[in-house]
Amino acid sequence: MIPDALRTFLTLDFAPLLAVTLAAGTLGLLGSFLVLERRAMIGDAMAHSVLPGLVAGFLITGSRAPFPMFVGALAAAGLASAAISFITRYGRIDPSTAIGVVFTSLFALGILGVEASGARNVDLDLDCVLSGQLELLYWRPPSTYAELLSPATVLTLPREVLILGALAVLTPLLLALVWKPLTAATFDRTYATTRGLRPTLVRSAVFALTTVTIVASFEALGSILVVALLTCPAAAARLRGGRLAGFVCMSALFGAASGVFGYLGATQLAPTVIGGSIDASGTVASLSGLILAVMALRHRSRSAE
């Protein structure tokens, strides 16, 4: 039989821990390419823009059914990135300004939607938008070790965890498949085009996967954590130098580590220190920032060489 303490942990904390770790690793992996392409702020903008999509999905179907809200969020994130490139290109406005225009507009639309539609009463709470709903990921574990270790048990995990797990498997596979063209396209887009590699297509595929991961992570983790995990681990890994594959893996590792230790710190360590848990998403985000700060302090600046 599984002892009670472990049972409690499995019931309350296992699913959120798994969700945070899977999402953090995947976002760290995908964030490395955003950072390389200098599009970190676009990830930020997309994470903010998810909100109006969720609200629209909710308003159109009138329910909190996951699928329409997922589709709505995906559409909104896609719209945000399309609008940013459109405005930059045709309005001749510098990218950071275009990003500022687009994501604030969409986020304002989302807030208005939440407040005015009555969605707020149905638990599309604005606080959840920021810190997610990790605590709602609740799992009823089997009662014996034998059952716990059987493969079929995996499927009893909450839907969010399964989706994030699927993305965590799919992402490295896709990246491995398109690795060489992706490297060429990210390093030197012009050259990749002249070699007939369709860099736009390859990058769009990775970008689409990034969008899906942002949206899938959003509900459980909230917007702050998504942005932090897209940028901080990759920025920290970037300071280590080395070759591309090492950088990408390190970014995923930093992300996953922030997820595991941040979550355990907030839910297991904090209660013994201050007598109660603290916000887990916020802690994971802060920890990823701390890793960046440490790496930056250890970083040998080039001018000193």
Partner 1 sequence: MIDTATGSAAALSPVELAEKWFEVVSLGGGHNTNVVLAGVTLLGLAAGMVGVFSMLKKQSLVADAFAHASLAGVGAAFLLHGAFFAGGGRRNMAVLLLGAALSGSLAVAAISWLGRRTRLPADTATAAVSSASFGLGIVLLSLARRISGADQAGLDGLIFGSAASMTRGDAQLMAAVAGIVLIAVLGASAPLTAAAFNERFARVRGLPVGFIEALLAALVAAITIAGLQAVGMLLVVAMLVIPPATARLWTRRVPGLLTLSGLLGASAAFLGASVSAILPNAPAGALIILVSAASFAISLIAAPHRGLVAGLIRQRAVRHRARAEAHRPPRPIAGTAPGTRAGTGGGTST
Partner 2 sequence: MILREQSGVPLSIAGLSVAYRAEPVLWNVHWSARAGSMTAIVGPNGAGKTTMLSAALELVPRLAGEIRFWGQPLSAVRERVAFVPQRESIDWDFPVTAKDVVRMGATRGASWWIPSWARRLSPAAKDEIHRADSALAQVHMTDFQDRPIGELSGGQQQRVFLARALAQDGDLILLDEPFAGVDAGTEDVLTEALRALTAQGKTVVAVHHDLDTVAERFDDVLVLNREVVAQGAASDVLANPSVKRLFRGSEPEFATLS
Q: Which residues bind partner 2 (CB under 8 A)?
A: 36, 38, 176-181, 183-184, 186-188, 190-191, 193-197, 238, 241-244, 246-247
What is the distance, to the nearest Å, from the Cα of residue 293 to the centroid of all Cα atoms in its chain? 20
Q: Is 186 in the site for partner 1 (CB under 8 A)?
A: no
Q: Which does residue 97 bind out of partner 1, partner 2, none, counting CB within 5 to 8 angstroms by kind?
A: partner 1
Q: Is 98 in the site for partner 1 (CB under 8 A)?
A: yes
The size of the chain, in residues, is 305
Q: Which does residue 183 bind out of partner 1, partner 2, none, counting CB within 5 to 8 angstroms by kind?
A: partner 2
Q: Which does residue 242 bind out of partner 2, partner 1, none, counting CB within 5 to 8 angstroms by kind?
A: partner 2
Interface pick for partner 1 out of 2, 10, 71, 278 (rule CB under 8 A): 278
Q: Is 231 in the site for partner 1 (CB under 8 A)?
A: yes
Q: Is 116 in the site for partner 1 (CB under 8 A)?
A: yes
Q: Is the dihedral of CA 197, 95, 82, 56 positive or negative?
A: positive
> What 3-state class would DSSP assign to 242?
coil
Q: Which residues touch 183 (CB under 8 Å, ≥6 apart)? A: 244
Site for partner 1 in 233-252 (CB under 8 A): 234-235, 238-239
Interface pick for partner 1 out of 26, 186, 251, 283 (rule CB under 8 A): 283
Comparison of 91 and 118: residue with beta carbon closer to partner 2: 91
83 in Cβ contact with 102 (< 8 Å): yes
Which tokens belong to 103?
């994501």
Backbone angles phi, psi at 195, to 5 degrees: -85, 5
Task: Mark 249-268 with x for binding to partner 1 (rule: CB under 8 A) and - for no binding.
Answer: -----------------x--
Q: Which residues touch 127 (CB under 8 Å, ≥6 apart)? A: none
CA distances from 296 to 31, 256, 299, 305 (A): 18, 19, 5, 16
Residue 197 Cβ vs partner 1, minimum distance, rounded to whole Å:
24
CA distance 226 to 263: 14
CA distances from 54 to 69, 94, 160 (A): 5, 29, 15
Q: Is 272 in the site for partner 1 (CB under 8 A)?
A: no
Alpha helices in 4-133 (DSSP H): 4-9, 15-36, 40-61, 66-90, 95-117, 126-131
Per CB under 8 A, residues contacting partner 1 are: 35, 38-41, 43-44, 48, 87, 90-94, 96-101, 104-105, 107-109, 111-112, 115-116, 118, 126-127, 130-131, 224-225, 227-228, 230-232, 234-235, 238-239, 266, 274-279, 281-286, 288-290, 292, 296, 299, 301-302
